[in-house]
Amino acid sequence: MASTILVVEDEPAIQELVAVNLTFAGHKVLRAATVDQAMTLVRAELPDLVLLDWMLPDMSGIVFAKRLRADERSRDIPIIMLTARSNEGDKVEGLEAGADDYITKPFSPKELIARIKAVLRRRAPQLTDDLVELGGLKLDPATHRLYGARPGGQAQALEIGPTEFRLLHFFMTHPERVYSRAQLLDQVWGDHVFLEERTVDVHIRRLRHALTPSGHDVLVETVRGSGYRFCATASRVNEGDLANLTA
Ligand code: CA
């Protein structure tokens, strides 16, 4: 899946080289030459990853990294530092400021793309094209196909809409955790998308419907008062059955 990458680099030739290669790799690229410009871009649209030069004209990239980490809205954005520095102390300072990785200049475009993929795989697996298999479901982002198999049964292709596919991709890469409707809107529909929370309920319903033919609808659990959870080991006993047992 294409991700939005903010490139903060004041050297025009390097900014251009990086932007061209990222665009070619299928990413959407935002460009800034100063921390000030970068802050403005982040306010308008939250990127999926930031490539951050260390030495910038207005202030250090480290300061920007710390600001991103200090703000709840941007706290979780993966950051890769681009740096001409290679001494150990600088690397430690970069990592302590919240960078996920650093690349020492000069670097090859191939190395850059590989590092970005590795960081996204670790920090935002729903943005990669990696095949995900969990709880008898197999989701292939590259071909947009979904297969489900009952225990001991044959896998069958499942019909699923694009939004439900993204929702399921997020769930399968973040299983067993409860997400509120607001969190799901941020993660699946994107930051700065203003939708009512019941939009989530509509798509959860469609997602369960899509998973029904293979019996996987039970994996999408409603957590009362909190939100939803994808539980790969969900038992067939749901809350309704429990209520009947104790009635
Ligand atoms: Ca620079």
Q: What gap in Å lies between CA 239 and CA 148, rounded to an integer?
A: 24
- Residues near ligand 1 ion, CB 5 Å cutoff: 10, 53, 55
Q: Are residues 61 and 121 in the same domain?
A: yes
Q: Are residues 88 and 103 in the same domain?
A: yes
Average pLDDT over residues 224-228: 94
Give residue-wise pLDDT tens across range 135-156. Answer: 999 999 999 999 998 877 888 9
**What 3-state DSSP class applies to 7?**
strand
Are 192 and 45 contacting, i.e. CB atoms less than 8 angstroms apart?
yes
| CA–centroid distance, residue 3 to ligand 1 (Å) | 24
| CA–centroid distance, residue 38 to ligand 1 (Å) | 14
Task: State the DSSP code for 175.
Answer: T
Q: What gap in Å lies between CA 201 and CA 222, rounded to an integer?
A: 10
| Residue 228, domain extent | 132-245
| CA–centroid distance, residue 106 to ligand 1 (Å) | 12
Average pLDDT over residues 114-140: 91
Using the 3D structure, point to which of 62, 96, 127 is the last residue of a domain: 127
Q: Are residues 239 and 146 in the same domain?
A: yes
Task: State the DSSP code for 27.
Answer: -
Give residue-wise pLDDT tens across range 60-107. Answer: 999 999 999 999 889 889 999 998 766 677 777 878 888 999 898 889
| CA–centroid distance, residue 36 to ligand 1 (Å) | 14
Q: What gap in Å lies between CA 223 and CA 228, rounded to an integer?
A: 5
- In sequence order, what are the residues at sequence separation of 6 or more whose Cβ sits closer than 8 angstroms to the Cβ of residue 164? 203, 206, 207, 210
| CA–centroid distance, residue 27 to ligand 1 (Å) | 22
Q: Are residues 118 and 140 in the same domain?
A: no
Q: Are residues 156 and 81 in the same domain?
A: no
| CA–centroid distance, residue 10 to ligand 1 (Å) | 5
Q: What gap in Å lies between CA 125 and CA 134, rounded to an integer?
A: 14
Query: What CATH number is attached to the domain comprising 64?
Result: 3.40.50.2300
| CA–centroid distance, residue 66 to ligand 1 (Å) | 18
**What 3-state DSSP class applies to 124?**
coil
Number of compact structural domains in the chain: 2
Q: Are residues 18 and 89 in the same domain?
A: yes
Using the 3D structure, point to which of 127, 151, 174 is the last residue of a domain: 127
Q: Are residues 144 and 187 in the same domain?
A: yes
Dihedral (CA of 235, 150, 188, 181) sign: negative
Give pLDDT, residue 1: 53
| CA–centroid distance, residue 32 to ligand 1 (Å) | 11
| CA–centroid distance, residue 57 to ligand 1 (Å) | 7
| CA–centroid distance, residue 219 to ligand 1 (Å) | 48
pTM for the predicted model, two decimal places: 0.74
Using the 3D structure, point to which of 76, 109, 127 is the last residue of a domain: 127
| CA–centroid distance, residue 79 to ligand 1 (Å) | 16
Distances, alpha carbon 190 to alpha carbons 119, 169, 193, in Å: 19, 14, 6
